Amino acid sequence: MASDTRTRTSTSKHILPGEWERHRDRIVGLRRSGTILEGDDGIMAIMKREHGFVASVYICHVYTTYLTIGHLLSSSQYELQLNKWAERKNLHAEEWRQIIQTVDQYNEDGIHCDVYRNGQLIPRWTLKRKRKEYCQGHDEPVSVKGVQGRGT
């Protein structure tokens, strides 16, 4: 059995809150447009290229007795900051259940309802898919931050 040794090192400095706030609109805009966090076209690369903004990337080296497997990148400071701004990529199951329940209540009252998350329309096909995925036998209410329904 091969032994496993892991080391973690930070490749940049801690970013102060004021600096994060200066770049907030751009980072959040990229996240909401569906841009991934890592990779050559990811938020981290765009922010470095366009603004010289580099947040911590932790490199985890994995060594075994026989070979070095390589390194894994983690975008930890970005993920932490996006969570502070309530900019999670995905909603939790309970949040989807509440959204579907609210849409159903509007529909029962004869009101057409569009659902927006962070200003972006959630397509009907997404709601339909999430209904199948999360709403079988669940009807407990949960408040959802950053999600609004707009009746028309």
pLDDT tens, residue by residue, 54-81: 886 554 444 444 444 443 444 678 888 8
What average pLDDT does range 18-44 have in this prediction? 89
Together in a domain, 66 and 101: no
Query: 137: domain range?
Result: 93-151
pLDDT band of residue 129 (cuts 50, 70, 90) is very high
Strands (E), the chain: 4-10, 58-64, 68-74, 113-117, 120-122, 147-151
Q: How many domains does the chain have?
A: 2
Same domain, yes or no, for 80 and 8? yes
Among the ranges given (91-95, 120-124, 129-133, 144-148), the one the predictor scored with the smallest mean pLDDT: 144-148
Statement to judge: residues 20 and 76 lie in one domain:
yes
- For residues 62 and 105, membership in a common domain is answered with no
Answer yes or no: do 33 and 51 share one domain. Answer: yes
Q: How far is CA 112 from CA 46, 96, 120, 129, 149, in A?
A: 39, 18, 17, 18, 10
Domain final residue, candidates 66, 84, 102: 84
- Of the candidates 100, 80, 88, which has an alpha carbon nearest to the alpha carbon of residue 32? 88
Q: Does residue 112 sit in the same domain as residue 79?
A: no
Highest mean pLDDT pick, 21-30, 36-45, 72-81: 21-30
Q: Which of 65, 84, 103 is at the close of a domain?
A: 84
Last residue of a domain, one of 84, 106, 141: 84
**pLDDT of amino acid 2:** 47
**How confident is residue 39, by pLDDT bands cut at 50, 70 and 90?**
confident
Which pLDDT does position 89 carry in this prediction?
72
Answer yes or no: do 55 and 118 share one domain: no
Q: For residues 39 and 32, is the Cβ–Cβ distance under 8 A?
A: no
pTM recorded for the entire structure: 0.52
Q: What is the pLDDT of residue 150?
A: 53
